[in-house]
């Protein structure tokens, strides 16, 4: 029994060493950013902005609060290295199929995020760009609660994918 356990442990260590040696790492891990501070502007209350804030903070980037129009007198706001403006964060449900009786049979779910990255003095690093993800959802009136849960999971999956893409694009920016 002890011999089998040692063999299993040895095999696991070998696989781990080979995976580490070939450069394997989890997706999204180890992204290096050319900036240390970032200010989020625009649609910052949505779940994409919240996830992005958490991921950037975990990567060592200090995320500054949006600049408010009515700042207290004498309080100097910290100047970020870059400003990420989320121009649009939108969820869409589009009916793409119906039954002969006119009931919804299939939906197309979309998650659209438009953003721009610039320096504090206004120089564009990434002009207005859009990330769009779509998922199809078959629909049945008899299982509405299950389909609502599935829809929520699909929107969450799209949010995760968009945040991952946005992080990769931000990591590609050099010379801010």
54 within some domain: yes
Kindly give, in sequence order, each residue whose CB lies less than 8 Å from that of residue 127, ignoring residues fewer than 6 positions away.
116
Q: What CA–CA distance (Å, rounded) separates 118 from 98?
A: 44
Q: Give pTM, 2 decimals.
A: 0.75
Give the mean pLDDT of the chain: 84
Greater confidence, 129 or 104?
A: 129
Query: By residue range, what is the domain housing residue 143?
Result: 34-66+79-171
Please say whether the beta carbons of 176 and 81 come within 8 A: yes
108 within some domain: yes
49 within some domain: yes
Q: Write the CATH number for 60.
A: 3.30.160.150
The pLDDT value recorded for residue 12 is 65
14 within some domain: no
153 within some domain: yes
How confident is residue 100, by pLDDT bands cut at 50, 70 and 90? confident
60 within some domain: yes
Angle (deg, nearest 10), helices 144-171 and 47-58:
50
Question: Structurally, how many domains does the chain consist of?
Answer: 1
Q: What is the mean pLDDT of residues 127-146?
A: 87
The pLDDT value recorded for residue 101 is 83
Q: What is the mean pLDDT of residues 154-169?
A: 96
Kindly give, in sequence order, each residue whose CB lies less than 8 Å from that of residue 79, ignoring residues fewer than 6 positions away.
37, 120
Greater confidence, 68 or 85?
A: 85
29 within some domain: no
Q: What is the mean pLDDT of residues 65-76?
A: 65
The predicted-structure confidence for 14-56, as pLDDT tens digits, reads as follows 666 666 556 554 454 578 899 999 999 998 899 999 999 999 9
The pLDDT value recorded for residue 176 is 47
160 within some domain: yes
């Amino acid at each position: 029994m002890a011999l089998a356990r040692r063999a299993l442990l040895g095999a696991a260590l070998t696989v781990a060493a080979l995976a580490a040696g070939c450069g394997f790492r989890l997706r999204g891990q180890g992204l290096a950013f050319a900036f240390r501070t970032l200010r989020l502007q625009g649609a910052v209350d949505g779940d994409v902005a919240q996830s992005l804030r958490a991921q950037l903070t975990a990567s060592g980037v200090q995320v500054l609060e949006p600049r408010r129009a009515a700042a207290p007198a004498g309080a100097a706001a910290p100047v970020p290295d870059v400003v990420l403006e989320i121009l649009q964060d939108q969820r869409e449900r589009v009916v793409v199929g119906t039954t002969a009786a006119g009931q919804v049979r299939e939906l197309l779910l979309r998650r659209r995020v438009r953003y721009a990255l610039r320096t504090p003095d206004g120089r564009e690093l990434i002009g207005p760009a859009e990330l769009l993800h779509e998922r199809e959802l078959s629909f049945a009136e008899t299982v509405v609660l299950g389909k609502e849960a599935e829809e929520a999971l699909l929107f969450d999956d799209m949010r995760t994918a968009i945040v991952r893409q946005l992080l990769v694009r931000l990591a590609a920016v050099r010379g801010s």
